[in-house]
Amino acid sequence: MDTKLPKNKTSIGFKITAVQVLVIIMVSVSVLITTAFTITNYISQRNFYELETTAKGIAQIIINTSFRDERLIQEVVSQSQSNIEVVILNQDLNIVLSTFQGFDDRLVIPDEIKNAVIEKKTQGSWSDSYFVIEEFTSLNRSGYVIALSPRVDQMIIRDSFMWSVIRLIIIAVLIGILFASYLTSKLIEPLQDLEQKLKEISIGDFSGRLKVEDDDELGDLAKAFNNMSQQLERYQEAQSRFIQNASHELKSPLMNIQGYAEGLAADLFNESEIDEAFNIIVSESQRLKSVVEELLFLSKIDNENVEMKKEKVEASEVINEALRTVYTRIQQRNLDLQVIIEEDLSINGDYSSLMRAFSNVLDNAVRYAKERILIQGITGEEKEVIIRIVDDGPGFLEKEIPKVFERFFKGEKGNTGLGMAIVKDIINLHGGEIKIYNHSSGGAVVEIVFPN
């Protein structure tokens, strides 16, 4: 007993939606990280630019003024932007003036900024602030202007922008889910229909067809399925007819054999009728044997069990061999036989299968010919081998031409109805093509073309 539990079935629609949402999230996160880096870099560069502009402006004012009154400088400094603080150092790096209250009570600049001044750096960061250093020199004074701005302004702007981006990502994910649901419904519904039709086929119902709504891959799939269903339906009908016809072809000679055998056993025939009864039994036995052999051969072809040993076969040799099977009948009917085959004309194929195919065609030609049979073997324009077998009989009826290669289709003088079906299958196995038509002067033409 199988105790394994069935695996949970995950809908393909869920998979598609999950993949699409995952892709949106991954792309959104990448955009978010890139945007955060870009915005942070832009805001910091913008801050440094504003700090540099402010520091240079104040330094220029200090250089150009002739006043030594530091209260005036305090007033000028106080007129700078409200979010920018300014510290002025003398040449000894002591604070002369400061609007910044972030240093300690002794108004001593921190080591980070002091080292930056000594190392001639023009900008940097300290604690929660950015700073820019501008050196000035004049006749009455020299020193440094340090402009500082808090990072918190940058963080506020960045966070505000990032929250806007996050909201957009959430909206994009929701839209993606809706779009994925719509998309999967368009994909899943045809697949569900296909699944249902396949289940019907599995129980032998080949009549189902899919709707072809769009000219895309799903439309191509629906067309391919419909074509397959149609072919299976035709195959089922052909198989049904095949079984019925085969039963009839086998049953008819068996009943004749049984009837005459029972009549002989019961002494129902007089002496003059006994020989005829034996001849009929032998004839029907031969017919039965022929039908069985042909059915077995067709079965092998259908199951791809026919062994094909392809090699170079001389056309004249295999046709002469096929002629031996009907030569007695040709002589009995006093038919005029013409064989015109080009020298060194060869076919790449299986000798025994080719001989069987030509024998079946010649058998029909002998059966329907009135006076003449012509066999031609020539090379085509593209080096293909063309074999034509022509007789001067009544030819094909137009309505019969499409049915000649059907199994168990028999003409007026037909035998088992399997001969031409076997010929077509053999020629197909050799990659060739067989055509039938009526000659302009009357009679039937069977033309077989083998690739070079």
Token digits of residue 176: 């993606």
pLDDT at res. 415: 59
Q: How far, CA to CA in Å, does 287 sit from each of 24, 248, 280, 352?
A: 74, 13, 10, 21
Question: What CATH code is assigned to 311-450?
Answer: 3.30.565.10
What predicted TM-score, i.e. pTM, was given to this entire model? 0.47
What's the pLDDT tens digit per position in 76-114? 556 555 578 888 888 888 887 777 766 654 467 888 888
Identify the residue whose tokens are 């000649």: 404
Choices 3.40.50.1220, 3.30.70.270, 1.10.3720.10, 1.10.287.130: CATH for 217-302? 1.10.287.130
Tens place of pLDDT for every residue, the chain, 452 residues? 444 444 445 566 677 777 777 887 788 788 778 877 887 788 888 888 888 888 888 888 777 764 454 565 556 556 555 578 888 888 888 887 777 766 654 467 888 888 898 888 989 888 778 899 999 887 777 889 888 888 776 777 777 877 887 888 788 778 877 877 777 777 777 777 777 878 887 777 777 777 776 677 777 777 887 888 877 777 777 666 666 656 666 777 788 888 888 888 888 888 878 888 888 888 778 778 877 777 777 777 766 666 778 899 999 999 999 999 888 889 989 999 999 999 889 999 989 889 889 988 998 899 889 999 999 999 988 889 999 999 999 888 888 888 888 776 666 555 566 778 888 988 988 899 999 999 888 889 999 999 97
Q: Does domain 13-156 have CATH number 3.40.50.10190?
A: no
pLDDT at res. 375: 94
Q: Do domains 13-156 and 217-302 have the same CATH topology?
A: no
What is the distance of C-alpha 134 from the center of its chain?
68
Each domain of the chain, given as residue ranges in start order, spans 13-156, 217-302, 311-450
pLDDT at res. 412: 59
Residues 6 or more apart in contact with residue 336 via CB below 8 angstroms: 371, 372, 373
Identify the residue whose tokens are 């009995």: 332
Residues 6 or more apart in contact with residue 172 via CB below 8 angstroms: 24, 28
pLDDT at res. 25: 78
Edge-to-edge, what's the strand order for the sheet holding 123-126? 95-98, 85-90, 142-150, 129-137, 123-126
What's the pLDDT tens digit per position in 137-168? 877 778 898 888 887 767 777 778 778 878 88
- Which of 410, 406, 421 has the alpha carbon at shortest distance from 297? 421
pLDDT at res. 105: 47
pLDDT at res. 5: 42
- Which of 162, 145, 136, 205 has the alpha carbon at shortest distance from 35? 162
